[in-house]
Amino acid sequence: MTESNQPNASPEAGEHDVSSLSSVSPVAPVATKAKAAAVGRHAYRPAQPESGTVGQTRDAWAVWLLSILTLGIYYLVWYYKINRELQLFAPDAVTVRPGLAVLAQLVPILNLVSLARTAGRLNAAHASVVSPVRVSAGITILGAFWYASQTRYLQRRLNTLWETKPPPG
């Protein structure tokens, strides 16, 4: 373009000088991982509770509803996460391969065995912090037949575990 085709731009007319644009960033700063973690559990990464536990407190009804709305996809993700969290919470008391536990949920009869074992792992984790809470494998299995209520039952017991402080010593 020639000079005659360019509009008359002057700093007095409210427009910016081109030389000053190189130092100005047109994009807002992106939140870093550290900032996002401080925002809350729905940000980039779930914030860890102050007690140092590795589990995430979830709303039991939300887990149940999301499992139904996603036709079981969220249930499989949730099941992997809770088994992984139990493994990290009490590595001496809980041995599990979360991926295999999820695969077992896809096979009839094995899914019930896996639910009973997850209840046992949750009991072992509660026992490791001397918690009086116990999880019934029978209730967990029956919950699977009563509108997928095992999600609510197990998540409530997990939330209790995450709120339990380990004994001193």
| DSSP secondary structure letters along 24-41 | S-SSPPPPPHHHHHHH-T
In a domain, 88, yes or no: yes
CA 156/CA 147 separation, integer angstroms: 16
In a domain, 134, yes or no: yes
Sorted by sequence, the CB contacts under 8 Å of residue 81 that are 6+ apart come out as: 56, 98
Q: What domain range includes position 127? A: 60-163
In the prediction, which pLDDT does 3 show? 52
In a domain, 13, yes or no: no
In a domain, 36, yes or no: no
Cβ–Cβ contacts within 10 Å for residue 82, how many? 25
The tens digit of pLDDT for each residue in 89-125 reads 999 999 999 999 999 999 999 999 999 999 999 999 9
In a domain, 20, yes or no: no
In a domain, 23, yes or no: no
The tens digit of pLDDT for each residue in 9-46 reads 545 555 555 554 444 444 444 433 344 344 444 433 34
Total tally of structural domains belonging to the chain: 1
Give me the mean pLDDT over the 138-162 stretch: 95
In a domain, 76, yes or no: yes
pLDDT, mean over the chain = 79
In a domain, 29, yes or no: no
